[in-house]
Amino acid sequence: MKKAVIAISILLFLFIAGCSQQQAASSPLKLNLGQEVTVVIKDFKFNPAAITVKPGTTIVWENQDKASHTVKLPNWESEELFQGSTTKKTLTDPGTYNYVCGIHPSMKGTIIVE
């Protein structure tokens, strides 16, 4: 009888521990680091051309053009992006950031961090 109680206690403990781990794994992790927003480069345009984000947001640029491009912000320029490649930049300071393609300066975009 005593062995049965111990075995049931152990099984109950393992069941509860497993449920707690499963719940923790399915709960979103809140780090307040911002989110990711993707800007697609296609047809020699940034799409969307203008975005508004919160501080700490990471902007991902994805080149879907056959031509290579760069992303040129004040004080920062990405490496050359070939078709299928991406680059990222996290913006933490509020403000308006106008950017262009360093290779094709007629391509323009705007990021507003507020």
pLDDT at 4: 53
DSSP states along 50-111: EEEE-TTEEEEEEE-SSS-B--EETTEEPPPBPTT-EEEEEE-S-EEEEEE-SS-TT-EEEE
Tokens representing 70?
């760069």
Q: Going by DSSP bridges, is the β-strand pair 57-63/86-91 parallel, antiparallel, or unpaired? A: antiparallel
| Per-residue pLDDT tens over the stretch 90-113 | 999 999 999 999 999 999 999 999
Range 36-113: architecture per CATH: Sandwich (2.60)
For the chain, which residues make up each domain, given as ranges?
1-30, 36-113
Rounded-to-integer distance, Cα 7 and Cα 10, Å: 5
| Per-residue pLDDT tens over the stretch 50-83 | 999 999 999 999 999 999 999 999 999 999 999 9
